[in-house]
Structure 1
Amino acid sequence: ATRLPVLDGAHESLLVHATTSVDDVLQLAVSLQPAAIVVDSIQTVYLDGVTGAAGSVTQVRECAAALLRVAKGQRIPILLVGHVTKAGEIAGPRVLEHVVDAVLYLENDVAGGPGRILRALKNRFGPTDEVGLFAMTPRGMEALPDASLKFAGEAGTGGPAAVAACVEGSRAVLVEVQALANSVPKDVPARRVATGVDINRMHMLLAILSKSAKLPVYRYEVYLNVTGGLRITDPSADLAVCVAVAASMKGCRVAPDVAFAAEVGLGGELRGCTQLARRLGEARRLGFERLIV
């Protein structure tokens, strides 16, 4: 409630009701007919007549079912805020994910910054590959209008790195992939660490570099990092990963006006990417002269 003054008058139509009873929420929903309801959180509320304490499997399931009936019957959007486990999964029964129409995850910036990434794990009304990029400000969470500046705005200022022109959902985003390859003695196993890139895909790309580019990656421990805390799943980032690793092994830098967008096949061949026009436009807007595909 102390944050309401920053909403520029929006709090005048906002009702904050302190209760842990779902029955109270249902009565208010029917009587007030609000534009939307936010329940924070589903693990702390209970339903009368249902056994178990708040947060138990039975209570979470029945509370979600009761709210669902009101949402469908009264045509009121209801947002359920839920806790997550250490593994990053929603706490409580799996039926909770089946009941709702959409499951959204709000992830913190792994770099410790103010960035927030909103991902859809389930969406009955649209695609699940869309992402929302936000920043936490004194006025609350606001949309990040220029994501590429956040993830690739300082490309080339650090160590060996390559810029990948990726597509997240329908949005073209340029991200900087940093690599550190450090030689190790023969009797020491090479360590591999990846942040923001799937570790199994990293192992595959290193094997391709060893086979096709004849680089002795087995003698190097390799660390990969995607700046800004973004996790990339677009396979067109393969070429940027390979270039960054090769540059670190050779002790050279990648030209600052070059971006990359290509998937690397097992034979070392480059495969084309989709939505090339969007990638080209975003790269050109940030001042890149060439996009290698």
Structure 2
Amino acid sequence: MTPPEYEYLRKVLRDRSGLDLSADKQYLVESRLLPLARKAGLSGTGELVEKVKSGSTSLTTQVVEAMTINETFFFRDKIPFDHFRLSIVPEMLRARAGRKSIRIWCAAASTGQEPYSLAICLKEMGDALTGWRVEIIASDLSEEVLEKSRAGLYSQFEIQRGLPIQMLIKYFTQSGELWQVNADLRAMVQHRQLNLLHDFSQLGLFDVIFCRNVLIYFDQDTKIGIFKRLAKAAEPDGVVVLGAAETVVGLTDVFKPCPQRRGLYRPSSVPAMHSNAYAIGNGPKLAAMAGV
């Protein structure tokens, strides 16, 4: 791949997915795209770029998906899931008692470990959610990873990354060398192919939005645009959860951090959560989940 070909791909990736690659990442692009070129029967990444330039929509989509970062695992980083089960959901149970429904969006769901981790947290709450309607929407740019998420099939290596053994036994069934998420848990998650660079108002409003470990790959203007759209997708008293390396500070004022809760943000138009919503002792059912 020549430098001009790499520059062309950088622009395609930035325009199509928001992925902002630096000039010194050509080796990474070539290593990711060489298997795709061979699969397509091409001589190398140079010919692949020429096919993309010629207007091959299918191949362009495959290039974008091959370069999209899909690193994920169950209960990744742990702290956001502690916040979810010990403070966010209890607060929502109080705030939504009148309508008895909660909408949750995983905005960069990849192969499904995050939305299924949230579903497990909700299952573990038992009777607390009896009579409630809970929606979990899992979206991603890549249809390939969404198909894997829908199937809920994971290798032993994927299972071992973050999933406690008691949760494996309780919510998964072994299928040959793979483990499959049980049908009732899979039924809790709906899947949508979606590009965060585009309008997503058709999804409606959400009480909780997980948008973790994806914005770090975007440039500043792209992040600001996504934050503005996320603010329109969040309920006025909703919560947005970002990754540990992501923040709105210095970028936008549409969200404000929740005090002493790293990674949690509220729309700027409403007060922060009540302090008692963050108390660790929210009843025996929630306290018993501390090992998740």
Select the structure that is richer in helix. 2
The structure showing larger relative contact order (alpha-carbon pairs under 8 Å, at least 6 residues apart) is 2
Which interval holds the TM-score relative to the shorter structure? under 0.3
Q: Which has the larger radius of gyration?
A: 1
Select the structure that is richer in strand. 1
| TM-score (structure 1 length as normaliser) | 0.28
